[in-house]
Amino acid sequence: MKHSGCQLNVLWLAWSVLQIFAVNLTFYGMKNTNWKLFLPHMIFRLLCFIMLATLIIIFFTASFFYMHAEETHPFGVYFIVLGTITTLFSAFWIYIMVCQFRCCQFVKRSAETGFSVSNTRPLGPPTLSLSDARPATTPAIAPPIRQLPPLRHAYHRRAPPVYGEAASGDFPVKTG
């Protein structure tokens, strides 16, 4: 057990890199509606589940014989708690696998029907609306355009003097 868990670091590194690659293939399969790209990740998930189930069975068997020989703890409560946690974890893992299988089915049906959530319509020229299809009104029927008279100021004011050109009488000076 120690050899397979601790001494095979290169194997576990390769396993994790292959899992990352399989997840990327799954996302690529979703994007391109290719359901066959889901298979590597689903196989890895199933192998991981089998490996964890094997480890849990070995752990339960070993702890049962150890607890039975030692009889230091009430092993009934221990197995109930450990069994509950293991059952919840396994149920969650199976639920994830079922969801992934359903996603794979959806992508497969999307590829068969041509419907895709991820593919958008290609950009093109603007389309005509329903109001553009109606003929325009003729200018003869349209009322004549009326123009307003030009604006006039109600009072005339001269522009202020430019700096340096002002005479002494241009600005009123308040005295007193």
> For 84-98, what is each residue's pLDDT tens digit?
888 898 899 899 989
By CB atoms closer than 10 A (0-12, 13-18, 19+), residue 135 is exposed
- When the pLDDT of each residue in the chain is averaged and rounded to a whole number, the result is 76
What pLDDT sits at residue 71?
Answer: 63
For 146, residues 6+ apart whose C-beta sits below 8 A from its C-beta are none
Q: Cα 90 to chain center, whole Å? A: 27
Q: Please state whether the predicted TM-score (pTM) of the whole model is above 0.75.
A: no
What pLDDT sits at residue 55?
Answer: 85
Place of tokens 């994007």: 31
Between 39 and 173, residue with greater pLDDT: 39
Between 28 and 118, residue with greater pLDDT: 28
What pLDDT sits at residue 107?
Answer: 85
Question: Quick check: helix, strand or coil at residue 39?
Answer: helix
- Alpha-carbon gap, residue 30 to 38, rounded angstroms: 8
pLDDT tops 70 at residue 128: no
What pLDDT sits at residue 30?
Answer: 82
User: pLDDT tens, 36-47?
Assistant: 888 888 999 888
Worst-scoring range by mean pLDDT, 21-25, 42-46, 55-59? 55-59
